[in-house]
Amino acid sequence: MRKIILIAGHSRSGSTLLDRLLGEMDGFVTVGELRCLWIRGLHEDQLCGCGTAFKSCGHWRDIVADLPAAETRESWVSRVLRLQRLVEKSKAIPLLLNPSLRPREFSDQLDEYKRELRSLVSGIFEKTGARVIVDSSKKPTYALIMKELFGDDVHVVHLVRDSRAVAFSRLRTRLRPEIHWMKKHMAIGNPLRTGVEWRLANSVLTAMHDAGRCTQLRYEDLVERPRATIAGLVADVFAVNPSAVQVPHIYAGAAELSMAHSVAGNPMRFATGRIPITLDDEWKKNLSRMRRNVVTLLTRKQLKQYNFI
């Protein structure tokens, strides 16, 4: 039985942590943010999670070796990126939620993109021998596409974090080690825009949850009870009792991580060895009152819905 666990949500919500914790399970392989393979891996040649430039990583080179058929690698990458922009944009949400609304051109573009995703996923299963792929791509439109493509073989996890914590995290200056040819930092996010984007992303995923198409998980609960949370998620995927799931790599407040061939994600994807699992709630002290009020006002309804206030 082959499965995909797809972690969806807003950025800075702890998806890389969840990805790494799941990826250590027996028979699981983490790929990081798989939808970024074409842009960050094949086009920009950023670092794989193993620390090697993507195009030089033997793991990924074997997986993508046979993918572009009857065209050059460059034209294939450009074509897939164009399809991705067209079918994953926010304006496509109504079309992805309701297939009857789709124009013929959009349906054709979506079908072409799904063929590329199916080929890529098949290659990962074949080359790694894994029974579960962990994909932390996050983007809600991508989650809708993957669910439509793979049906019950995709287990979508809606990971949600307090919007004020997300807004504060996006104000931090962090180096992007995967861009190895120059020094570059992660983009700074305006709290107003973060609030609007957080509300939209989580609205789409909540609609999926309400329709029985995904599992909902709070980042704060994951950090507080990591061992029980991972066991519960794996049990959900395979419809077994959580007590039957072995999670030997997670301890009290820490986890043991091995190297992972991840395409993209938070810089912690490069971490190996024992890492601490602690709640990042610095926003409670250091997010200004004005910014906190703006984000709270924009997202109040969902903050209540997810029991953050």
Q: What is the mean pLDDT of the chain?
A: 94
Length of the chain: 309
Residue 265 covered by a domain? yes
* Residue carrying the six token digits 């979506």: 110
254-257 vs 273-276, strand pairing mode? antiparallel
pLDDT at 250: 96
pLDDT for 135-152, tens place per residue? 999 999 999 999 999 999
Poorest-confidence range of 151-165, 178-192, 283-297?
A: 178-192
Confidence band, pLDDT 50/70/90 cuts, at residue 285: very high
Q: What is the DSSP letter of 212?
A: T
Residue 302 covered by a domain? no
Beta bridge partners of 250: 255
Of residues 176 and 67, which shows the higher confidence score? 176
Please tell me the distance from the alpha carbon of residue 60 to that of residue 302, in angstroms, as a whole number: 39
pLDDT at 281: 94
If one counts the domains in the chain, the total is 1
Extract long-range pairs of 277-286: CB within 8 Å, 24+ residues apart: 277/17, 277/223, 277/226, 277/250, 277/253, 278/223, 278/253, 279/220, 279/223, 279/224, 280/165, 280/169, 280/223, 281/165, 282/168, 283/162, 283/164, 283/165, 283/167, 283/168, 283/169, 286/168
Confidence band, pLDDT 50/70/90 cuts, at residue 245: very high
pLDDT for 184-239, tens place per residue? 888 888 999 999 999 999 999 999 998 888 999 999 999 999 999 999 999 998 88
pLDDT at 74: 87
pLDDT at 39: 97
Domain that holds residue 258: 3-162+215-279
pLDDT at 260: 96
pLDDT for 252-281, tens place per residue? 889 999 999 999 999 999 999 999 999 999
Residue 237 covered by a domain? yes
Residue 201 covered by a domain? no
Q: What is the mean pLDDT of residues 97-110?
A: 97
* Residue carrying the six token digits 């990126």: 81
Predicted structure pTM score: 0.95
pLDDT at 186: 84
pLDDT for 25-70, tens place per residue? 999 999 999 999 999 999 999 999 999 999 999 999 999 887 766 5
Confidence band, pLDDT 50/70/90 cuts, at residue 112: very high
pLDDT at 69: 60
Residue 289 covered by a domain? no
CA–chain centroid gap for 35, Å, is 9
Please tell me the distance from the alpha carbon of residue 210 to that of residue 297, in angstroms, as a whole number: 24
Asked whether 163 and 302 are in contact (CB, 8 A), the reply is yes
Please tell me the distance from the alpha carbon of residue 244 to that of residue 201, in angstroms, as a whole number: 34
Please tell me the distance from the alpha carbon of residue 28 to that of residue 87, in angstroms, as a whole number: 28
- Count CA atoms within 13 Å of residue 272 on its CB side: 9
Residue 179 covered by a domain? no
Please tell me the distance from the alpha carbon of residue 309 to that of residue 306, in angstroms, as a whole number: 8
Q: What is the mean pLDDT of residues 287-297?
A: 96
Crossing angle of helices 191-210/289-305, nearest 10°? 0
Residue 242 covered by a domain? yes
Helices (H), the chain: 15-23, 58-64, 73-88, 93-97, 104-128, 140-150, 163-169, 191-210, 219-224, 226-238, 283-286, 289-305
Helices (H), 51-185: 58-64, 73-88, 93-97, 104-128, 140-150, 163-169
Residue 210 covered by a domain? no
Q: Is the pLDDT of residue 296 over 90?
A: yes
